[in-house]
Amino acid sequence: MILTITLILSFLVAVNFLLLIFSCNKTSKKTESTKPRIIRTDKPTPTIVSNQLPAGQLAATGS
């Protein structure tokens, strides 16, 4: 019984390692030397306004 469980677990671990080796994403070693383009605009940047709660009011946390 213990021998059967040990053999099954060993087989599953071996299959897991094989799947790990052959299924990993391969990354290319090729490097690109092109520089990214910089887009410059003379338009004013928009101001981001956040809706903040008053000092005495707390937000609901769901708990």
pLDDT at 48 (0 to 100): 72
> Considering the entire predicted model, what is its pTM?
0.39
Is the predicted pLDDT of residue 63 greater than 90, yes or no? no
pLDDT at 38 (0 to 100): 74
pLDDT band at residue 12 using 50, 70 and 90 as cut-offs: very high
Q: Which of 2-6, 15-19, 23-27 has the highest mean pLDDT?
A: 2-6
**Mean pLDDT value of segment 11-20:** 92
Alpha helices in the chain (DSSP H): 2-23
Phi, psi of 39 (to 5 degrees): -95, 120
